[in-house]
Structure 1
Amino acid sequence: MITTAGARFLAAFNDIEKHIRGTLRASNGDGFAQLAREYADKKRLPTHHRSALLAFAALRNAISHERYYGGRPIAEPVEAVVQEIELLRRQLLEPPRALTALGSARVCVIQPDDAIGAALDHVRTLGYSQLPVYDGDSYVGVLTTNAIARWLADQLIKNTGIAEEEPVSRVLKFAEPGEEAVLVPRSITAVEAIDRLSRERQAGHLATALIVTERGRRSDTPLRLITPYDLPALTAALAIV
Protein backbone atom coordinates (compact mmCIF):
# COMPACT_ATOMS: atom_id res chain seq x y z
CA MET A 1 0.00 0.00 0.00
CA ILE A 2 1.41 3.37 -1.02
CA THR A 3 1.24 6.14 1.57
CA THR A 4 -0.05 9.67 0.98
CA ALA A 5 3.52 10.96 0.57
CA GLY A 6 4.25 8.23 -1.94
CA ALA A 7 1.05 8.98 -3.87
CA ARG A 8 1.91 12.69 -4.04
CA PHE A 9 5.42 11.87 -5.20
CA LEU A 10 4.17 9.55 -7.94
CA ALA A 11 1.54 12.04 -9.07
CA ALA A 12 4.17 14.77 -9.44
CA PHE A 13 6.59 12.41 -11.18
CA ASN A 14 3.91 11.22 -13.60
CA ASP A 15 3.05 14.81 -14.51
CA ILE A 16 6.73 15.54 -15.13
CA GLU A 17 7.20 12.39 -17.21
CA LYS A 18 4.10 13.15 -19.29
CA HIS A 19 5.36 16.69 -19.91
CA ILE A 20 8.84 15.54 -20.94
CA ARG A 21 7.54 12.80 -23.22
CA GLY A 22 5.09 15.21 -24.81
CA THR A 23 7.74 17.86 -25.33
CA LEU A 24 10.15 15.39 -26.94
CA ARG A 25 7.36 13.46 -28.69
CA ALA A 26 8.80 10.29 -27.26
CA SER A 27 7.16 6.90 -27.22
CA ASN A 28 6.29 5.00 -24.06
CA GLY A 29 9.13 2.62 -24.81
CA ASP A 30 11.83 5.27 -24.46
CA GLY A 31 13.65 5.17 -21.13
CA PHE A 32 12.95 8.11 -18.84
CA ALA A 33 16.56 8.67 -17.77
CA GLN A 34 17.70 9.25 -21.34
CA LEU A 35 14.67 11.43 -22.05
CA ALA A 36 15.43 13.48 -18.94
CA ARG A 37 18.96 14.13 -20.20
CA GLU A 38 17.70 15.08 -23.66
CA TYR A 39 15.08 17.36 -22.17
CA ALA A 40 17.61 19.01 -19.86
CA ASP A 41 19.89 19.66 -22.85
CA LYS A 42 17.05 20.95 -25.01
CA LYS A 43 15.70 23.27 -22.33
CA ARG A 44 19.18 24.08 -20.97
CA LEU A 45 18.08 23.25 -17.45
CA PRO A 46 20.37 24.04 -14.53
CA THR A 47 22.50 21.17 -13.27
CA HIS A 48 20.48 20.71 -10.09
CA HIS A 49 17.29 20.22 -12.11
CA ARG A 50 18.94 17.56 -14.26
CA SER A 51 20.31 15.77 -11.20
CA ALA A 52 16.94 15.95 -9.45
CA LEU A 53 15.15 14.39 -12.43
CA LEU A 54 17.51 11.42 -12.43
CA ALA A 55 17.35 11.01 -8.65
CA PHE A 56 13.56 11.19 -8.65
CA ALA A 57 13.46 8.60 -11.45
CA ALA A 58 15.47 6.19 -9.33
CA LEU A 59 13.13 6.74 -6.38
CA ARG A 60 10.08 6.27 -8.58
CA ASN A 61 11.46 2.93 -9.74
CA ALA A 62 12.08 1.86 -6.15
CA ILE A 63 8.51 2.75 -5.19
CA SER A 64 6.75 1.34 -8.22
CA HIS A 65 8.88 -1.52 -9.48
CA GLU A 66 10.89 -2.94 -6.60
CA ARG A 67 9.68 -5.71 -4.31
CA TYR A 68 7.37 -4.78 -1.46
CA TYR A 69 7.99 -5.66 2.18
CA GLY A 70 5.00 -6.23 4.40
CA GLY A 71 2.71 -4.84 1.73
CA ARG A 72 4.62 -1.56 1.50
CA PRO A 73 7.30 -0.39 -0.96
CA ILE A 74 10.87 -0.62 0.26
CA ALA A 75 11.36 3.09 -0.51
CA GLU A 76 9.29 5.89 0.93
CA PRO A 77 9.78 9.59 0.10
CA VAL A 78 10.07 11.98 3.02
CA GLU A 79 8.03 15.17 3.05
CA ALA A 80 11.00 17.33 1.96
CA VAL A 81 11.51 15.20 -1.15
CA VAL A 82 7.81 15.35 -1.99
CA GLN A 83 7.90 19.13 -1.73
CA GLU A 84 10.98 19.27 -3.95
CA ILE A 85 9.44 17.23 -6.75
CA GLU A 86 6.19 19.20 -6.54
CA LEU A 87 8.17 22.42 -6.86
CA LEU A 88 10.17 20.98 -9.75
CA ARG A 89 6.92 20.00 -11.46
CA ARG A 90 5.68 23.56 -11.18
CA GLN A 91 8.92 24.98 -12.53
CA LEU A 92 8.98 22.62 -15.52
CA LEU A 93 5.32 22.90 -16.43
CA GLU A 94 5.06 26.62 -15.64
CA PRO A 95 8.60 28.03 -15.95
CA PRO A 96 9.08 31.24 -13.94
CA ARG A 97 9.44 34.32 -16.12
CA ALA A 98 12.58 36.41 -15.77
CA LEU A 99 10.52 39.56 -15.22
CA THR A 100 8.60 37.85 -12.43
CA ALA A 101 11.81 36.76 -10.75
CA LEU A 102 13.47 40.16 -11.04
CA GLY A 103 10.57 42.57 -10.76
CA SER A 104 10.26 45.83 -12.61
CA ALA A 105 13.06 48.37 -12.91
CA ARG A 106 13.47 51.67 -14.68
CA VAL A 107 15.35 51.48 -17.98
CA CYS A 108 17.57 54.51 -18.53
CA VAL A 109 17.59 55.17 -22.29
CA ILE A 110 19.81 57.68 -24.08
CA GLN A 111 19.68 59.08 -27.60
CA PRO A 112 22.54 59.10 -30.15
CA ASP A 113 22.57 62.91 -30.18
CA ASP A 114 22.67 63.22 -26.39
CA ALA A 115 25.86 64.70 -24.97
CA ILE A 116 28.15 62.10 -23.43
CA GLY A 117 28.16 64.27 -20.31
CA ALA A 118 24.54 63.29 -19.69
CA ALA A 119 25.43 59.60 -20.01
CA LEU A 120 28.31 60.08 -17.59
CA ASP A 121 25.88 61.59 -15.09
CA HIS A 122 23.80 58.39 -15.26
CA VAL A 123 26.92 56.30 -14.71
CA ARG A 124 28.07 58.44 -11.81
CA THR A 125 24.76 58.99 -10.00
CA LEU A 126 22.89 55.76 -10.75
CA GLY A 127 25.78 53.32 -11.07
CA TYR A 128 24.75 52.06 -14.51
CA SER A 129 27.43 50.31 -16.54
CA GLN A 130 25.31 49.79 -19.66
CA LEU A 131 22.94 52.30 -21.23
CA PRO A 132 20.63 51.32 -24.12
CA VAL A 133 20.81 53.77 -27.01
CA TYR A 134 17.60 54.40 -28.95
CA ASP A 135 17.16 56.65 -31.97
CA GLY A 136 13.59 57.69 -31.40
CA ASP A 137 11.77 54.37 -30.99
CA SER A 138 14.45 52.21 -32.62
CA TYR A 139 17.23 50.37 -30.79
CA VAL A 140 20.72 51.42 -31.94
CA GLY A 141 23.11 49.80 -29.50
CA VAL A 142 24.31 49.82 -25.93
CA LEU A 143 26.79 52.27 -24.47
CA THR A 144 29.01 50.53 -21.95
CA THR A 145 31.51 51.84 -19.46
CA ASN A 146 34.13 49.89 -21.46
CA ALA A 147 33.38 51.98 -24.55
CA ILE A 148 33.40 55.15 -22.45
CA ALA A 149 36.79 54.21 -20.97
CA ARG A 150 38.27 53.66 -24.44
CA TRP A 151 36.83 56.99 -25.58
CA LEU A 152 38.36 58.71 -22.53
CA ALA A 153 41.73 57.10 -23.26
CA ASP A 154 41.53 58.37 -26.84
CA GLN A 155 40.72 61.86 -25.60
CA LEU A 156 43.70 61.85 -23.24
CA ILE A 157 46.09 60.55 -25.88
CA LYS A 158 45.03 63.33 -28.23
CA ASN A 159 45.36 65.87 -25.40
CA THR A 160 42.01 67.32 -26.42
CA GLY A 161 40.53 67.25 -22.94
CA ILE A 162 37.24 65.66 -21.96
CA ALA A 163 34.59 66.95 -24.35
CA GLU A 164 31.40 66.35 -22.39
CA GLU A 165 29.39 67.73 -25.28
CA GLU A 166 30.61 64.90 -27.53
CA PRO A 167 27.53 63.04 -28.89
CA VAL A 168 26.80 59.54 -27.64
CA SER A 169 26.86 58.27 -31.22
CA ARG A 170 30.56 59.13 -31.51
CA VAL A 171 31.47 57.50 -28.22
CA LEU A 172 29.45 54.43 -29.24
CA LYS A 173 31.97 53.87 -32.05
CA PHE A 174 34.54 52.89 -29.42
CA ALA A 175 32.59 49.73 -28.59
CA GLU A 176 34.50 46.56 -29.34
CA PRO A 177 33.14 43.85 -31.67
CA GLY A 178 30.57 41.77 -29.86
CA GLU A 179 29.89 44.50 -27.29
CA GLU A 180 26.19 44.34 -27.87
CA ALA A 181 23.00 43.79 -25.91
CA VAL A 182 20.49 41.13 -26.94
CA LEU A 183 16.83 41.97 -27.41
CA VAL A 184 14.48 39.39 -25.88
CA PRO A 185 10.67 39.18 -25.45
CA ARG A 186 8.99 39.69 -22.10
CA SER A 187 7.98 36.02 -22.15
CA ILE A 188 11.60 34.95 -21.60
CA THR A 189 11.91 32.56 -18.66
CA ALA A 190 14.49 32.66 -15.90
CA VAL A 191 16.18 29.57 -17.37
CA GLU A 192 16.32 31.15 -20.83
CA ALA A 193 17.68 34.43 -19.46
CA ILE A 194 20.47 32.62 -17.60
CA ASP A 195 21.26 30.63 -20.74
CA ARG A 196 21.33 33.71 -22.98
CA LEU A 197 23.63 35.59 -20.63
CA SER A 198 25.96 32.59 -20.36
CA ARG A 199 25.85 31.90 -24.08
CA GLU A 200 26.74 35.49 -24.97
CA ARG A 201 29.73 35.40 -22.63
CA GLN A 202 30.88 32.09 -24.12
CA ALA A 203 30.55 33.59 -27.59
CA GLY A 204 32.96 36.35 -26.62
CA HIS A 205 30.40 39.13 -26.31
CA LEU A 206 31.40 41.71 -23.76
CA ALA A 207 28.15 43.45 -22.92
CA THR A 208 26.24 40.29 -21.96
CA ALA A 209 23.08 42.29 -21.34
CA LEU A 210 19.52 41.45 -22.27
CA ILE A 211 17.04 44.18 -23.13
CA VAL A 212 13.54 42.90 -22.43
CA THR A 213 10.83 44.29 -24.70
CA GLU A 214 7.28 43.22 -25.50
CA ARG A 215 8.26 41.06 -28.49
CA GLY A 216 12.05 41.32 -28.57
CA ARG A 217 12.03 43.73 -31.53
CA ARG A 218 14.22 46.77 -32.10
CA SER A 219 11.17 49.03 -32.31
CA ASP A 220 9.68 47.89 -28.98
CA THR A 221 9.91 49.98 -25.85
CA PRO A 222 12.53 48.59 -23.44
CA LEU A 223 10.93 47.18 -20.30
CA ARG A 224 13.96 46.02 -18.35
CA LEU A 225 17.69 45.54 -18.65
CA ILE A 226 19.02 42.18 -17.41
CA THR A 227 22.75 41.93 -16.69
CA PRO A 228 25.05 39.40 -15.00
CA TYR A 229 24.30 41.29 -11.76
CA ASP A 230 20.83 39.73 -11.93
CA LEU A 231 22.06 36.14 -12.17
CA PRO A 232 21.75 35.39 -8.41
CA ALA A 233 18.08 36.43 -8.40
CA LEU A 234 17.37 34.43 -11.56
CA THR A 235 19.11 31.38 -10.09
CA ALA A 236 17.23 31.73 -6.81
CA ALA A 237 13.94 31.56 -8.72
CA LEU A 238 14.91 28.05 -9.87
CA ALA A 239 15.75 26.64 -6.44
CA ILE A 240 13.89 23.49 -5.43
CA VAL A 241 15.38 23.06 -1.95
Structure 2
Amino acid sequence: MGSNYQHFMHAFNELHNVIAKKVNRDPETNFGELMGAAAKKRDKVIEKYLNEIDFYRELRNLLTHNTINGDEAAAEPSNSLITEIEMVTEKIKYSKTAKDLFLKKVRQFDINDSLENVLDVINQVRYTQFPVFDGDKLVGILSSIGVTKYLAQAMDKDINAIKKATVRQILEVEDEQEFYETISENTSVFDIEEIFSERIKEGRTTYVLLVAKEKQIKNQNDLIGIITPWDLPKIVANK
Protein backbone atom coordinates (compact mmCIF):
# COMPACT_ATOMS: atom_id res chain seq x y z
CA MET A 1 0.00 0.00 0.00
CA GLY A 2 1.22 3.54 -0.75
CA SER A 3 2.28 5.87 2.01
CA ASN A 4 -0.67 8.19 1.37
CA TYR A 5 -3.01 5.28 2.02
CA GLN A 6 -1.51 4.90 5.49
CA HIS A 7 -1.57 8.65 6.09
CA PHE A 8 -5.22 8.87 5.09
CA MET A 9 -6.25 5.94 7.29
CA HIS A 10 -4.40 7.49 10.23
CA ALA A 11 -6.10 10.84 9.59
CA PHE A 12 -9.52 9.18 9.34
CA ASN A 13 -8.97 7.25 12.58
CA GLU A 14 -8.08 10.52 14.32
CA LEU A 15 -11.29 12.07 12.96
CA HIS A 16 -13.21 9.04 14.24
CA ASN A 17 -11.74 9.46 17.73
CA VAL A 18 -12.41 13.21 17.83
CA ILE A 19 -16.06 12.75 16.84
CA ALA A 20 -16.44 9.96 19.41
CA LYS A 21 -15.18 12.29 22.13
CA LYS A 22 -17.39 15.12 20.89
CA VAL A 23 -20.55 13.01 21.24
CA ASN A 24 -19.38 11.24 24.43
CA ARG A 25 -19.16 7.77 22.92
CA ASP A 26 -16.55 5.03 23.16
CA PRO A 27 -13.89 5.28 20.40
CA GLU A 28 -14.73 1.70 19.41
CA THR A 29 -18.25 2.80 18.43
CA ASN A 30 -19.20 2.25 14.78
CA PHE A 31 -18.62 5.43 12.75
CA GLY A 32 -22.18 5.45 11.42
CA GLU A 33 -23.50 5.31 14.97
CA LEU A 34 -21.25 8.21 15.95
CA MET A 35 -22.64 10.32 13.12
CA GLY A 36 -26.17 9.38 14.19
CA ALA A 37 -25.37 10.57 17.72
CA ALA A 38 -23.95 13.81 16.33
CA ALA A 39 -27.15 14.34 14.31
CA LYS A 40 -29.32 13.84 17.41
CA LYS A 41 -27.12 16.21 19.35
CA ARG A 42 -27.30 18.69 16.43
CA ASP A 43 -23.59 19.38 16.70
CA LYS A 44 -23.19 22.44 14.48
CA VAL A 45 -19.50 21.91 13.70
CA ILE A 46 -20.08 18.37 12.46
CA GLU A 47 -23.18 19.51 10.55
CA LYS A 48 -21.09 22.12 8.74
CA TYR A 49 -18.66 19.47 7.45
CA LEU A 50 -21.21 16.68 7.00
CA ASN A 51 -20.72 16.30 3.23
CA GLU A 52 -16.95 16.19 3.59
CA ILE A 53 -17.13 13.63 6.41
CA ASP A 54 -19.47 11.42 4.38
CA PHE A 55 -16.97 11.52 1.52
CA TYR A 56 -14.09 10.55 3.85
CA ARG A 57 -16.14 7.65 5.18
CA GLU A 58 -17.00 6.38 1.70
CA LEU A 59 -13.37 6.62 0.63
CA ARG A 60 -12.25 4.83 3.79
CA ASN A 61 -14.69 2.00 3.05
CA LEU A 62 -13.48 1.83 -0.57
CA LEU A 63 -9.84 1.68 0.46
CA THR A 64 -10.50 -0.86 3.20
CA HIS A 65 -12.51 -3.31 1.12
CA ASN A 66 -11.04 -2.94 -2.35
CA THR A 67 -7.50 -3.64 -3.48
CA ILE A 68 -5.82 -4.36 -6.79
CA ASN A 69 -4.07 -7.75 -6.94
CA GLY A 70 -4.66 -8.01 -3.20
CA ASP A 71 -1.95 -5.47 -2.50
CA GLU A 72 -2.48 -2.08 -4.14
CA ALA A 73 -5.19 0.27 -2.88
CA ALA A 74 -8.01 0.94 -5.34
CA ALA A 75 -7.28 4.65 -5.01
CA GLU A 76 -4.45 6.78 -3.68
CA PRO A 77 -5.58 9.74 -1.50
CA SER A 78 -3.92 13.00 -2.49
CA ASN A 79 -1.84 15.13 -0.15
CA SER A 80 -4.44 17.90 -0.35
CA LEU A 81 -7.21 15.50 0.73
CA ILE A 82 -5.19 14.35 3.72
CA THR A 83 -4.51 17.97 4.65
CA GLU A 84 -8.23 18.70 4.34
CA ILE A 85 -9.32 15.87 6.62
CA GLU A 86 -6.74 16.98 9.19
CA MET A 87 -8.12 20.53 8.99
CA VAL A 88 -11.71 19.33 9.49
CA THR A 89 -10.59 17.24 12.46
CA GLU A 90 -8.95 20.30 14.03
CA LYS A 91 -12.08 22.39 13.47
CA ILE A 92 -14.20 19.79 15.26
CA LYS A 93 -11.68 19.27 18.03
CA TYR A 94 -10.98 22.93 18.71
CA SER A 95 -14.11 24.77 17.62
CA LYS A 96 -14.19 28.30 19.02
CA THR A 97 -16.61 29.17 21.81
CA ALA A 98 -17.92 32.33 23.44
CA LYS A 99 -15.16 32.23 26.03
CA ASP A 100 -12.49 32.17 23.31
CA LEU A 101 -13.74 35.34 21.63
CA PHE A 102 -16.08 37.40 23.77
CA LEU A 103 -14.98 37.43 27.38
CA LYS A 104 -14.59 41.04 28.51
CA LYS A 105 -15.63 43.43 31.21
CA VAL A 106 -19.20 44.44 30.43
CA ARG A 107 -20.27 48.05 31.02
CA GLN A 108 -23.52 47.93 32.94
CA PHE A 109 -25.88 50.26 34.79
CA ASP A 110 -27.82 50.19 38.02
CA ILE A 111 -31.53 50.79 37.62
CA ASN A 112 -31.24 53.94 39.73
CA ASP A 113 -28.41 55.50 37.70
CA SER A 114 -29.25 58.87 36.22
CA LEU A 115 -29.77 59.64 32.56
CA GLU A 116 -26.97 62.17 32.85
CA ASN A 117 -24.60 59.34 33.84
CA VAL A 118 -25.90 57.15 31.01
CA LEU A 119 -25.32 59.87 28.40
CA ASP A 120 -21.82 60.48 29.72
CA VAL A 121 -20.97 56.78 29.28
CA ILE A 122 -22.55 56.56 25.81
CA ASN A 123 -20.45 59.55 24.79
CA GLN A 124 -17.27 57.73 25.82
CA VAL A 125 -17.84 54.21 24.46
CA ARG A 126 -18.99 52.70 21.19
CA TYR A 127 -21.51 50.35 22.81
CA THR A 128 -25.22 50.85 22.24
CA GLN A 129 -26.66 48.24 24.62
CA PHE A 130 -26.03 47.89 28.35
CA PRO A 131 -27.22 45.29 30.89
CA VAL A 132 -29.16 46.81 33.81
CA PHE A 133 -29.14 45.45 37.35
CA ASP A 134 -31.36 46.12 40.32
CA GLY A 135 -28.92 45.19 43.05
CA ASP A 136 -27.66 41.78 41.91
CA LYS A 137 -30.71 41.00 39.75
CA LEU A 138 -30.51 41.42 35.99
CA VAL A 139 -33.64 43.33 34.98
CA GLY A 140 -33.11 44.26 31.35
CA ILE A 141 -31.05 45.84 28.62
CA LEU A 142 -30.76 49.57 28.15
CA SER A 143 -30.39 50.55 24.50
CA SER A 144 -29.40 53.80 22.82
CA ILE A 145 -32.73 53.56 20.97
CA GLY A 146 -34.53 53.48 24.31
CA VAL A 147 -32.58 56.52 25.48
CA THR A 148 -33.46 58.40 22.28
CA LYS A 149 -37.13 57.48 22.62
CA TYR A 150 -37.19 58.66 26.23
CA LEU A 151 -35.59 61.98 25.28
CA ALA A 152 -38.10 62.43 22.45
CA GLN A 153 -41.00 61.92 24.86
CA ALA A 154 -39.48 64.22 27.49
CA MET A 155 -38.90 67.25 25.25
CA ASP A 156 -41.48 69.32 27.14
CA LYS A 157 -39.75 68.72 30.49
CA ASP A 158 -37.20 70.91 32.21
CA ILE A 159 -33.60 70.00 31.23
CA ASN A 160 -32.65 69.39 34.88
CA ALA A 161 -35.59 67.01 35.29
CA ILE A 162 -34.46 65.12 32.19
CA LYS A 163 -30.92 64.79 33.52
CA LYS A 164 -32.23 63.39 36.79
CA ALA A 165 -34.38 60.78 35.08
CA THR A 166 -33.30 57.25 36.01
CA VAL A 167 -32.53 54.12 34.04
CA ARG A 168 -35.74 52.67 35.50
CA GLN A 169 -37.75 55.36 33.70
CA ILE A 170 -35.92 54.78 30.44
CA LEU A 171 -36.55 51.02 30.58
CA GLU A 172 -40.26 51.76 30.85
CA VAL A 173 -40.29 53.20 27.32
CA GLU A 174 -38.18 50.46 25.72
CA ASP A 175 -40.39 48.79 23.11
CA GLU A 176 -39.19 45.34 24.04
CA GLN A 177 -37.25 43.96 26.98
CA GLU A 178 -37.17 40.36 25.76
CA PHE A 179 -34.48 40.98 23.17
CA TYR A 180 -31.68 39.23 25.00
CA GLU A 181 -30.80 35.83 26.37
CA THR A 182 -28.00 34.31 28.40
CA ILE A 183 -25.65 31.70 26.99
CA SER A 184 -22.88 29.62 28.52
CA GLU A 185 -19.25 30.56 27.95
CA ASN A 186 -18.89 27.16 26.23
CA THR A 187 -21.46 27.93 23.52
CA SER A 188 -19.86 27.37 20.11
CA VAL A 189 -19.64 30.05 17.43
CA PHE A 190 -21.87 27.83 15.28
CA ASP A 191 -24.64 27.92 17.91
CA ILE A 192 -24.15 31.65 18.40
CA GLU A 193 -24.52 32.26 14.66
CA GLU A 194 -27.67 30.15 14.54
CA ILE A 195 -29.26 32.10 17.42
CA PHE A 196 -28.63 35.41 15.67
CA SER A 197 -29.84 34.04 12.32
CA GLU A 198 -33.12 32.90 13.88
CA ARG A 199 -33.66 36.19 15.72
CA ILE A 200 -32.89 38.27 12.61
CA LYS A 201 -35.49 36.24 10.69
CA GLU A 202 -37.93 37.17 13.46
CA GLY A 203 -37.07 40.84 12.90
CA ARG A 204 -35.15 41.17 16.15
CA THR A 205 -32.08 42.85 14.72
CA THR A 206 -30.87 44.31 18.03
CA TYR A 207 -30.82 40.98 19.87
CA VAL A 208 -28.09 40.61 22.50
CA LEU A 209 -26.41 37.53 23.98
CA LEU A 210 -25.08 37.80 27.52
CA VAL A 211 -22.26 35.38 28.34
CA ALA A 212 -22.14 33.64 31.73
CA LYS A 213 -20.04 30.77 33.02
CA GLU A 214 -23.03 28.52 33.68
CA LYS A 215 -25.70 30.13 31.46
CA GLN A 216 -27.19 31.84 34.51
CA ILE A 217 -26.73 35.34 35.84
CA LYS A 218 -27.51 35.33 39.54
CA ASN A 219 -25.42 38.39 40.31
CA GLN A 220 -23.32 40.99 38.50
CA ASN A 221 -20.13 38.91 38.70
CA ASP A 222 -21.74 36.13 36.64
CA LEU A 223 -21.86 38.40 33.58
CA ILE A 224 -18.54 37.85 31.80
CA GLY A 225 -19.23 38.90 28.20
CA ILE A 226 -21.70 40.32 25.72
CA ILE A 227 -22.28 39.57 22.02
CA THR A 228 -24.25 41.79 19.64
CA PRO A 229 -25.13 41.55 15.92
CA TRP A 230 -22.13 43.81 15.28
CA ASP A 231 -19.98 40.82 16.25
CA LEU A 232 -21.31 38.60 13.44
CA PRO A 233 -18.29 39.16 11.14
CA LYS A 234 -16.03 37.98 13.97
CA ILE A 235 -18.26 34.95 14.53
CA VAL A 236 -18.22 33.97 10.85
CA ALA A 237 -14.44 34.47 10.61
CA ASN A 238 -13.88 32.02 13.47
CA LYS A 239 -16.05 29.17 12.22
TM range, smaller chain: 0.7 to 0.9
Q: TM-score, normalised on structure 1?
A: 0.77
Aligned counterpart, 1:9: 11
2:238 and 2:31 map into 1 onto residues whose CA distance is: 33
Contact 2:132 2:142 in 1 (8 A): yes
Greater shift after overlay, 8-17 or 127-136? 8-17
What pairs with 1:145-156 in structure 2 (closer than 5 Å)?
Answer: 145-156=144-155
Q: 1:16: Cα distance to partner?
A: 4.8
Contact 2:182 2:212 in 1 (8 A): yes
2:69 and 2:225 map into 1 onto residues whose CA distance is: 56
Decide whether aligned partners of structure 1 residues 146 and 194 sit closer, same or farther in structure 2, where only a CA change above 3 A counts.
same
Moved over 4 A (4+): 19-23, 27-32
Q: 1:22: Cα distance to partner?
A: 5.6
Aligned counterpart, 2:112: 113
Q: 1:196: Cα distance to partner?
A: 2.6
Q: In structure 2, which of residues 145, 157, 162 is the aligned counterpart of residue 160 of structure 1?
A: 157
1:176 and 1:115 map into 2 onto residues whose CA distance is: 20
1:73 and 1:87 map into 2 onto residues whose CA distance is: 24
| Post-superposition CA distance 1:109-136 (Å, at most 9, x none) | 1111111222222222211111111112
1:214 and 1:20 map into 2 onto residues whose CA distance is: 20
1:60 and 1:16 map into 2 onto residues whose CA distance is: 16
State the identity as a percent.
20
2:32 and 2:47 map into 1 onto residues whose CA distance is: 22
Q: 1:138: Cα distance to partner?
A: 1.5
Instruction: Give the letter aligned to residue 169 of structure 1.
Output: R
Which residues of structure 1 form unaligned runs of 5+? none
Aligned counterpart, 2:228: 227
1:194 maps to 2:190: no
Q: Give the aligned length.
A: 231
Q: TM-score, normalised on structure 2?
A: 0.78
1:12 and 1:59 map into 2 onto residues whose CA distance is: 15
SS in 1 for 2:142: strand
Contact 2:12 2:56 in 1 (8 A): no
1:95 and 1:107 map into 2 onto residues whose CA distance is: 24
What root-mean-square deviation, in Å, do the aligned CA atoms of Structure 1 and Structure 2 show?
3.3
SS in 2 for 1:232: helix
1:237 maps to 2:234: no
1:37 and 1:191 map into 2 onto residues whose CA distance is: 14
Q: 1:149: Cα distance to partner?
A: 2.5
Q: 1:42: Cα distance to partner?
A: 1.3
Aligned counterpart, 1:135: 134
Decide whether aligned partners of structure 1 residues 9 and 151 sit closer, same or farther in structure 2, where only a CA change above 3 A counts.
same
Greater shift after overlay, 71-80 or 131-140? 71-80
Contact 1:5 1:79 in 2 (8 A): no
Instruction: Give the letter aligned to residue 166 of structure 2.
Output: P
